[in-house]
Amino acid sequence: IQQINTMRDVFGTRPTKPDGQDPVVLAVAAHKGGAYKTSTSVHIAQWMALQGLRVLLIDATDPQATASLYHGYVPDLHIHPDDTLLPYYMGQRDDAVYAIKPTCWPN
């Protein structure tokens, strides 16, 4: 993907937005569990990264950390409570930037 994005940059075909423009926010939601919300979110995020878009995937309500698992992290080994949104929700952090982790999907 990185090589493709480099080629897009060279040829000027990589998708961009004007500075100061707000990001697009896409939510995948359902009123029940087991409705493939995380799977759908991960597939959409990976597809958008393949298109050259910058993507931030947030799976804020999955205690199983499935989105993290799909991106190369083993929750019990690599994810600790201080790495999650918990400190932000508890008012211990002013923003959630600390919780953003790199993945094998460069974008």
Does a structural domain hold residue 104? no
Give per-residue pLDDT as tens, 85-97: 999 999 999 999 9
Which domain does 37 fall in, by range? 2-99
What pLDDT does residue 75 have? 87
Q: Whose CA is closest to 52, among 99, 103, 100, 12?
A: 12
What pLDDT does residue 33 have? 84
pLDDT < 70 stretches in the chain: none
Does a structural domain hold residue 105? no
Q: What is the mean pLDDT of the chain?
A: 91
What pLDDT does residue 59 have? 83
Give per-residue pLDDT as tens, 41-51: 999 999 999 99
- Please give the span between the terminal C-alpha atoms of the chain, in angstroms, as a whole number: 8
Does a structural domain hold residue 107? no
Does a structural domain hold residue 14? yes
Does a structural domain hold residue 45? yes
What pLDDT does residue 1 have? 86
